[in-house]
Structure 1
């Protein structure tokens, strides 16, 4: 992509906003180098890695990327024998710790079966250098100071230092507490000059203390003297300090050598952390602009749902649906100035560049973008004073340059094509340029003021008109894109609203040709029809929602009815069984007594008679089938689809749709479809065959068996088990159609669910959801 195009479409501003989400200079460095890719495979990879990071942030809320430093220069210097200072070593340890945290973070997601193969592969390359990290942290604290624990020698040296300092202070404090100290000292304090302990002595009492003068006050009245009694102790202290410095130098050399040994692993860690920081920065930026992962194609199709320009505030930007490259490859947008034409043009361009850079785009889920080899744009007035070029000349220089390179793999954006010159000549040039670019197979979006170009979309195959809406009532643009409707001049309406007299407006209309008036009237009629269609669609959607709610409520009541009925049957059966069981026990007691009587008194009672009596008692135990309280069917005949029957258990009429098995039918009762046994039906009369298709797609959740199953966040095996049980429950409930929500992700869960559904004997067909149903994140299942 040309740098000029990236600047024109303000891609550099996107990179600046993206850079705010980097956690380290490593990520910021990659953001600065970011450019759109023209490789379809690379764009897929970039989008996949951003989507994985977005999923990780959605599940965990954040990624542990703090404490990362660019230590490549430190490592390089250590390799060539340099000694790293404490701060550089501390940054090295911090980076190792950050890499360990990041590796653990990604492995934790993988353990929960989150589908993040790209992030998982990067984490697997991170070497664990915990021993080096701990060795550095044992020697250096967070402020870069060397700790006593760095070595036993250093600990011993510092103990000597503290002991020596304590003795020096004791001697000096005894001097400043002496009887004459108040008279001879400027202040009763112990201080340090030239790394040696001294006391402030008045000039005239210098001889009383002897020793060495290290400094004097600005007035010369106070001398900072090292008394003779502590000179030797200060010398010893100085020697110990030198030993300390030598030991610290040895420790730093040792740690630097360990860093040099791990140079390859550290360099790889830095590269991987830079990549991860960059990937998560893309995901965080996408979250702030409410962006989604677009579908990516290689055939020039753009389909954006409710797309916004990412540099406009979310609550102010007007979202538009934009389609290009499928039924038409050229779009001509007309409309008034400041109406939003240029923003629409830039939205298409910047969304394409963002997608090809691996960024998610500010549009609704399910939006689609194409990968173009080149994106060309001629937008705005790029007049050059130094070159003395007019507006028209400046545009033509850009257009000539574009025409040198444009081909069938290009996206071309023209703003005010042909403007800045004679209207007739400008319109003719605009048409010729559009024809040329169209013939080369490029995808083109052009804005214009010329009325001649309104007819261009009607006279050319593969070209469509569009416009930005203008509200005459408020005298302001709505910034809404109307595809298929050319823009019309609102000059007369605006003038009338602003108070221009009717006779002037009428005279002005007389100067316009009949053809122009017809076109304007046609456009006005199209706009009115479109608004009415949108209003009716909104009303129809409201009605559909109400119908779906009613349908759901009815199903809920039916399910509750079945549950209560079966519960009562079970209670009655249980109660009857208990009564009979009690009777059996009493009868057994009687039979036992009879046997005793027969044995004791030789009563004439046969054993087989006792057995037959017990058998009759056992047969008395009730066995009540659920839903079997209706009277047996009559008027037996061979039933066929379309017959009207009476379902006895419901005492309701229905129509037969199709036979299921040997003795079961699918019956339509009102808006409900149920599986009913043939023995539970009574023939009424023959009817015309009914349409076996479902009445409507039912969405929502029911009280007992929901019409939607949400699998998001489930493990693969658990998800399939839930799907298996849910399909059985839905079939028992008699649902004609259900929806399974599996989300988008990498598509692994969706593929597994759909493969299972294809093999299920009761599934008629499956399909992905429409745009309003959840898109590719949902599978709609229809039963046989």
Structure 2
């Protein structure tokens, strides 16, 4: 495995990752990084990286400052060792850094309600240890100096030290300022030698001062003398400093003992902080390489979308699309040297190892990778000079080792398989090796320049050709990978481009048999078709994205309209309820009047009853013209709607045709180029086409339900497209459609022009127009049928 990691440049990738760690704790995790073969573990690692990326995306960064690897110091304290002030300060700083990081993550989860299950689990394990941190910081400052306030004894001793120093300096400075002694001094200063205060005295005045000589200048002309007058004071100062040192050692020993009491908790904190530093390093690296979290499986299937090699500069790397393990498990890449075959091989291998290490990989969203138990690679010329092995022998030694270990859970990468020996034998051997590895169930990506292997994928089930593209005009590779197309020789084209005489090229062509020429022509045709298909796919993808955006906008508008509709209906209901209430009150009042008249023995005349009825009618709530229309539309909407009916979608105010009935309450409606599911209550029946009675024709076209309200011509040849348009219009007429859409795309405009000309001459076409802004624009023609 070590060789595979080396040839796939896994260690170089780790060096890039190391640039993003915040402490030596994270550095150790990166240095220990190794791909896992357990799917569950890999998925857990990937989720951790995704959570780290989420934090960076939302917050910009995570607070990892102040955290250092103090494990050795903690372990020494645990066994009774005394720590230095700087070591204790590093421990306090790490405790604080851990507590701050814990608060940061817990706040995001509990207060901001951001889902970070893995990071929250780690952060919850960090112990605060505020008591130890406080004790250390009360005794030691940020520079690692023990404070006077560390103990009462230390404060007293330091006061004595400062007092003795002041007395010594005062006496010595009085000597240096005295006019009688200044001439005896080399310089009027007070200095220190052997931790004692002294003055510089000229050699000839040595006897004038007495005391102790501690040093002399290089020339011997100056002696550094501690005068007899301050020897006693210097001794007292020396004793005070000794007591200060003992008190500091006692304080540090006490603090070290407190660290020892929480050593296990501290060490566990360090373990958790190492993981968190590593997670955020992976997240920052993912941001640098524009990596995404891949989907993972154990089935040997991979689908890389616009994959990029992380070690190649972003402005130079060419994205590639790679599929393997689905319909085919062997991918044979052919093409010219320096065309990018080996880079493709290394990209597949390195991205697999990165994913299995829990790293996001530089691919587009929804890419998928497999977790393999073993990854094998035979890449590059690694012949052993010591063993006197040739290139071919070196490769075969490695391949023999691979064949002894490979199984159905393996990914095998072969670079220039069979190279370095006789081409015929090498090609035959390569085919045999590929068959053997395939039969063991492994997934294979192999590169080769043997022409015999170009036909390999056509004769083997589960194998697929691929090639790296070469631009003959610029004489340079494009590094693009073409799946399904074998590489072809460009020797003649390159030679012609470089000016080789055409006669020489023609004679060379005569040396190649007809079958080889046919294969080259076939490959050339495949390349052209592949490029055309890719161009059409990109256009289709663009249209799809535009349609999705339009659909999202329409859904938003529909939601807003529904809300507005509910608001209006609620308001109308409230108004109606109020009107009914008023009507009831009015009715009760009128009835009350009639009863009063009866009580009084008065007879109720006919005209009085008529007046009362009139009052009741006037009190009843009146429907406005708009309410009457809504009521009428709702009544129409409850009619029996069927497939093929022309309807109006009330919420959009747009006309369309019912494509099919989904259930009693929901229909699929075609409005221009857009299909939508619409509720029955939102539909108004406008017209119903007369049923076609000619049963033989209906049988020929296979029933109305098979005729859609649109015809998609994109990617069709011109002649085929024209025939399809004519047939489609006949089928649409038989299906009873009054309006259909013909989608021809924008492209070069030839297909659109041909469709327009045909429609103008067709006897059953009433009118035609370009699609509107929401109907595909110039890429769609809307046709009204007679």
Task: Evaluate the alpha carbon distance shift between residue 130 and residue 493 of structure 1 in structure 2; reply closer, same or farther with a 3 A threshold.
Answer: same
Task: Evaluate the alpha carbon distance shift between residue 430 and residue 106 of structure 1 in structure 2; reply closer, same or farther with a 3 A threshold.
Answer: same
Asked if 2 retains the 8 angstrom alpha-carbon contact of 1:633 and 1:682, the reply is: no
Q: Which residue of 2 aligns with 1:639?
A: 640
The structural deviation recorded for 1:483 is 0.9
SS of 1:405 mapped into structure 2: coil
Report whether the alignment pairs 1:27 with 2:40: no
Task: Evaluate the alpha carbon distance shift between residue 113 and residue 638 of structure 1 in structure 2; reply closer, same or farther with a 3 A threshold.
Answer: closer
Q: Which residue of 1 aligns with 2:519?
A: 519
Q: Which residue of 2 aligns with 1:49?
A: 48
Report whether the alignment pairs 1:345 with 2:342: no
Q: Which residue of 2 aligns with 1:736?
A: none
Q: Which residue of 2 aligns with 1:233?
A: 233
Greater Cα offset, 338-347 or 35-44: 35-44
Q: Which residue of 1 aligns with 2:249?
A: 249
TM-score between the two structures when normalised by the length of structure 2? 0.78
TM-score between the two structures when normalised by the length of structure 1? 0.78
SS of 1:115 mapped into structure 2: coil
The structural deviation recorded for 1:88 is 1.6
Asked if 2 retains the 8 angstrom alpha-carbon contact of 1:406 and 1:440, the reply is: yes
Report whether the alignment pairs 1:188 with 2:179: no
Q: Which residue of 2 aligns with 1:384?
A: 384
The structural deviation recorded for 1:294 is 1.3
Greater Cα offset, 429-438 or 276-285: 276-285
Asked if 1 retains the 8 angstrom alpha-carbon contact of 2:637 and 2:682, the reply is: no
Task: Evaluate the alpha carbon distance shift between residue 609 and residue 151 of structure 1 in structure 2; reply closer, same or farther with a 3 A threshold.
Answer: farther
The structural deviation recorded for 1:198 is 2.0
Question: 2: distance between equivalents of 1:101 and 1:258?
Answer: 21
Task: Evaluate the alpha carbon distance shift between residue 76 and residue 379 of structure 1 in structure 2; reply closer, same or farther with a 3 A threshold.
Answer: same
Q: Which residue of 1 aligns with 2:718?
A: none
Question: 2: distance between equivalents of 1:301 and 1:666?
Answer: 36
The structural deviation recorded for 1:558 is 9.2
SS of 2:404 mapped into structure 1: helix
Report whether the alignment pairs 1:12 with 2:14: no
In the TM superposition, what are the counterparts of 1:308-457 in structure 2 within 5 Å? Answer: 308-457=308-457
Question: 2: distance between equivalents of 1:479 and 1:35?
Answer: 30
Deviations 1:536-582 (A, max 9, x none): 2333444555666777888899999999999999999999999xxxx
Question: 2: distance between equivalents of 1:58 and 1:631?
Answer: 53
SS of 1:393 mapped into structure 2: helix
Task: Evaluate the alpha carbon distance shift between residue 129 and residue 465 of structure 1 in structure 2; reply closer, same or farther with a 3 A threshold.
Answer: same
| CA-atom RMSD in angstroms | 4.2
Q: Which residue of 1 aligns with 2:700?
A: none
Deviations 1:289-311 (A, max 9, x none): 11111111111111111111111
Task: Evaluate the alpha carbon distance shift between residue 21 and residue 181 of structure 1 in structure 2; reply closer, same or farther with a 3 A threshold.
Answer: same
Q: Which residue of 1 aligns with 2:104?
A: 105
Task: Evaluate the alpha carbon distance shift between residue 625 and residue 201 of structure 1 in structure 2; reply closer, same or farther with a 3 A threshold.
Answer: same
Deviations 1:337-385 (A, max 9, x none): 0011111111111111111111221211211111112111111111222
Task: Evaluate the alpha carbon distance shift between residue 279 and residue 134 of structure 1 in structure 2; reply closer, same or farther with a 3 A threshold.
Answer: same
Asked if 2 retains the 8 angstrom alpha-carbon contact of 1:573 and 1:622, the reply is: no
Question: 1: distance between equivalents of 2:193 and 2:328?
Answer: 85
Greater Cα offset, 384-393 or 409-418: 384-393
Deviations 1:455-494 (A, max 9, x none): 1111111111111111111111111111111111000000
Report whether the alignment pairs 1:122 with 2:118: no
Task: Evaluate the alpha carbon distance shift between residue 165 and residue 541 of structure 1 in structure 2; reply closer, same or farther with a 3 A threshold.
Answer: same
Question: 1: distance between equivalents of 2:649 and 2:208?
Answer: 126
Q: Which residue of 2 aligns with 1:732?
A: none
Q: Which residue of 1 aligns with 2:629?
A: 628
Task: Evaluate the alpha carbon distance shift between residue 218 and residue 271 of structure 1 in structure 2; reply closer, same or farther with a 3 A threshold.
Answer: same
Task: Evaluate the alpha carbon distance shift between residue 263 and residue 695 of structure 1 in structure 2; reply closer, same or farther with a 3 A threshold.
Answer: farther
SS of 2:512 mapped into structure 1: coil
Q: Which residue of 2 aligns with 1:59?
A: 58
Asked if 2 retains the 8 angstrom alpha-carbon contact of 1:352 and 1:369, the reply is: yes
SS of 2:272 mapped into structure 1: helix
Task: Evaluate the alpha carbon distance shift between residue 612 and residue 630 of structure 1 in structure 2; reply closer, same or farther with a 3 A threshold.
Answer: closer
Question: 2: distance between equivalents of 1:46 and 1:568?
Answer: 52
Question: 2: distance between equivalents of 1:400 and 1:541?
Answer: 45
Greater Cα offset, 639-648 or 569-578: 569-578
Question: 2: distance between equivalents of 1:39 and 1:636?
Answer: 58
Task: Evaluate the alpha carbon distance shift between residue 548 and residue 103 of structure 1 in structure 2; reply closer, same or farther with a 3 A threshold.
Answer: closer
Task: Evaluate the alpha carbon distance shift between residue 528 and residue 577 of structure 1 in structure 2; reply closer, same or farther with a 3 A threshold.
Answer: same
In the TM superposition, what are the counterparts of 1:588-667 in structure 2 within 5 Å? Answer: 618-619=619-620, 628=629, 639-642=640-643, 644=645, 654-656=656-658
Deviations 1:505-543 (A, max 9, x none): 111101001110110010001001111122223334445
Asked if 2 retains the 8 angstrom alpha-carbon contact of 1:26 and 1:277, the reply is: yes
Q: Which residue of 2 aligns with 1:171?
A: 171
Question: 2: distance between equivalents of 1:422 and 1:210?
Answer: 99
The structural deviation recorded for 1:59 is 2.0
Deviations 1:251-288 (A, max 9, x none): 01111111111111112112222222222222222221
SS of 1:401 mapped into structure 2: helix
The structural deviation recorded for 1:46 is 2.1
The structural deviation recorded for 1:435 is 1.1
Q: How many residues align?
A: 685
Task: Evaluate the alpha carbon distance shift between residue 272 and residue 558 of structure 1 in structure 2; reply closer, same or farther with a 3 A threshold.
Answer: closer
Q: Which residue of 2 aligns with 1:68?
A: 67
Asked if 1 retains the 8 angstrom alpha-carbon contact of 2:637 and 2:680, the reply is: no
Q: Which residue of 2 aligns with 1:724?
A: none
Asked if 2 retains the 8 angstrom alpha-carbon contact of 1:566 and 1:626, the reply is: no
Instruction: Identify unmatched segments of 5+ residues in structure 1.
Output: 579-586, 592-603, 697-784
